[in-house]
Amino acid sequence: MASETRDIIVNGLWKQNPGLVQILGMCPTLAVSTSLVNGLSLGLATTLVMALANTATALVSRLVPPAVRIPAYILIIATLVTMVDLLMHAYLLQLYLVLGIYIPLIVVNCIVLARVEAYASKHGAFYSFLDGLMMGLGLSLVLAALGGLREIFGKGTLLSGIDLAFGPAANTYVIHVLPHYQGLLLAILPPGAFIGLGLLIAARNRIEQIRALPTRSTGLLPQQAA
């Protein structure tokens, strides 16, 4: 029981991290990670959908005929995403104004379908929920790290855009990491996303290498790379 839970957490956040190890869902990941706030926002929205989609799939998986399981799963995911989109627009307007444009992107994020197919269709509702949550959080961490890196090198700031979530007063939260910085366009443009992701993957691999050297230490939740 407990070890299953722990495995799911370790897999989602580190061992099978969707962004750094499975390399799934790259299209929205690379497109949206232009700033810390953007990256984290998309990550959290994806996390919500993954947890819901995994739970829903686990509950109905026995009713899904194997031959048409992929269309059925896509149907479940698309329905959930649209419902989340409508409900947020109606009842969480402030949050919707920040996340709204990213939510439809989640349907085409293949990490959602990958977890539904690989995990939720074969496991119970609780573990599936946990798997979706942890995989989503793992992706969120990568998106936040990548967004943060690109924002610092591209614009010299951190947390720009936070005022959309917390009102104009939050403008003071914006950190000017590099004052009088001219900006590096490369970091903001798509190549910056590829280079940044490559660096993060390299950093994660290096940490794994070092950990594997002295003794095969297992069990401890490793520190995040960035």
Positions touching other proteins (CB under 8 A) are 31-32, 34-35, 38, 63-65, 67-68, 71-72, 75-76, 78-79, 82-83, 86-87, 89-91, 93, 97, 101-102, 161, 164, 185, 188-189
Q: How far is the CB of 46 from other proteins (least distance, A)?
A: 14
What's the rounded Cα separation, in Å, for the pair 127 and 164?
34
Nearer to other proteins, 36 or 130 (CB): 36
Nearer to other proteins, 92 or 202 (CB): 92
Q: How far is the CB of 15 from other proteins (least distance, A)?
A: 30
Buried b (16+ CB within 10 A) or exposed e, 134-171: bbbbbbbbbbbbbbbbbbbbbbbbbbbbbbbbeeeeee
Nearer to other proteins, 78 or 199 (CB): 78
What's the rounded Cα separation, in Å, for the pair 214 and 119?
33
Nearer to other proteins, 91 or 180 (CB): 91
Question: Quick one: 130 exposed, middle or buried, by C-beta within 10 A (0-12, 13-18, 19+)?
Answer: buried
Q: How far is the CB of 72 from other proteins (least distance, A)?
A: 5
Q: How far is the CB of 200 from other proteins (least distance, A)?
A: 18
Task: Name the DSSP letter for residue 175.
Answer: E
Instruction: Compute the half-sphere exposure of residue 180: CA atoms within 13 Å on the CB side of its CA.
Output: 0
Nearer to other proteins, 90 or 210 (CB): 90
Q: How far is the CB of 206 from other proteins (least distance, A)?
A: 29
What's the rounded Cα separation, in Å, for the pair 159 and 151?
8
Strand partners, 176: 157
Question: Quick one: 127 exposed, middle or buried, by C-beta within 10 A (0-12, 13-18, 19+)?
Answer: buried
Q: How far is the CB of 98 from other proteins (least distance, A)?
A: 9
Q: How far apart are the first and last CA of the chain?
A: 30
Nearer to other proteins, 75 or 212 (CB): 75
